[in-house]
Amino acid sequence: MRQKRAKSYRKQMLVYHHNFKFREPYQVLVDDQIVCDTHKASFDLVKGLQRTLQAEVKPMITQCCIQAIYDTKNQEVIDLAKTFERRRCNHPPKEAKSPLECLTSVVCIDGVNKHRYVVASQDPKIRSTLRKVPGVPMIFMNRSVMVMEPLSRTSEKLSSDQERRKLYKGLNDPLASGTPGAAPQEKQPPNKKRKGPKGANPLSVKKRKAPPLSHPTVAQSSSPANSSQEKSDVPSSRRKRSHKSSHKSKVEDSSNIPSGPVSD
């Protein structure tokens, strides 16, 4: 595949990824015609899809489309189609719908590509019908080259509307996302996960002041002079001195008072 085309397809799939939530492996609905045509041209359909979408793919076929292949009675093509995952469309096999009707009913649910299918179809009518549904990547064979259609107008409109909404939500109206803090968070890359334990960073949290070691002893002595010293910002040397003197005097006082009467 040419480099330029590969790049544009990659870009296009990014749009489907971001605005229409496509995820790998991409589910590719193939119609009966592209299976027959690629087989006739000895073109490997699945490899071609992988190359075009540049991703893992899951080829799928509806019951009605495989019924159309049974009708060709080409055993090789039937065997190939049987390797694809069957998409149940709930159209009874005996009253199989046309591939156009079947694919439309499977892809377009309530006006959107609910299951995020890529459609690989050789029928221009199928593609033009599904172009009206936003977000349906479409692939077909152009002679011997597999190509992807450019984004349809409906897809383009919807994705540009979405981009604009995202932009405004982030810049001008942070409340639009529900919680005030949600808008800036959305802008962060999704893989930037927080490691380690939850809660505030312990380094940024102000340490709780440990109770002073002297406290219990101070409490034990429980003299009025001590408690007043605790609150004051007096340097320790001075404090000691004042403490000593006050304590001493206190002790002397207290010893004097009781001793006085006893000695007498």
Contact 59, 69 (CB under 8 A): no
Q: At 100, is the secondary structure helix, strand, or coil?
A: helix
Burial class of 79 by CB neighbour count within 10 A (0 to 12, 13 to 18, 19+): exposed
Least distance in angstroms from the C-beta of 62 to Zn ion: 5
173 to 232, contacts with Zn ion by CB under 5 A?
A: none
Q: Which residue, 93 or 212, is less far from Zn ion as judged by CB?
A: 93
Least distance in angstroms from the C-beta of 148 to Zn ion: 24
Lookup: tokens for 75: 């055993």
Q: Which residue, 80 or 96, is less far from Zn ion as judged by CB?
A: 96
What's the CA gap between 97 and 95, in Å, rounded? 6
Least distance in angstroms from the C-beta of 33 to Zn ion: 15
Q: Which residue, 15 or 65, is less far from Zn ion as judged by CB?
A: 65
Show the site string, 50-89: x = touches Zn ion by CB under 5 A, - = not.
------------x-x------------------------x
Q: Half-sphere exposure of residue 17, counting CA atoms within 13 Å on the CB side?
A: 13
How many residues of this chain interact with Zn ion, rule: CB under 5 A?
6
Q: Which residue, 91 or 243, is less far from Zn ion as judged by CB?
A: 91
Q: Which residue, 103 or 146, is less far from Zn ion as judged by CB?
A: 103
Rule CB under 5 A: say whether 13 interacts with Zn ion.
Answer: no
Q: Which residue, 36 or 89, is less far from Zn ion as judged by CB?
A: 89
CB atoms within 10 A of CB 262: 6
Least distance in angstroms from the C-beta of 89 to Zn ion: 3
Q: Half-sphere exposure of residue 26, counting CA atoms within 13 Å on the CB side?
A: 29
Least distance in angstroms from the C-beta of 52 to Zn ion: 25
Least distance in angstroms from the C-beta of 91 to Zn ion: 3
Bond into 25 cis (ω within 30)? yes
Least distance in angstroms from the C-beta of 63 to Zn ion: 5
β-strand 117-120 against 138-142: which pairing, if any?
Answer: parallel
89 to 128, contacts with Zn ion by CB under 5 A?
A: 89, 91, 97, 102
Q: Which residue, 13 or 30, is less far from Zn ion as judged by CB?
A: 30
Lookup: tokens for 200: 């505030």
Contacts of 168 (CB under 8 A, 6+ apart): 176
Name the region of 221 (left: φ>0; alpha: ψ -120 to 50; beta: rest).
alpha
Residues that bind Zn ion (CB under 5 A): 62, 64, 89, 91, 97, 102
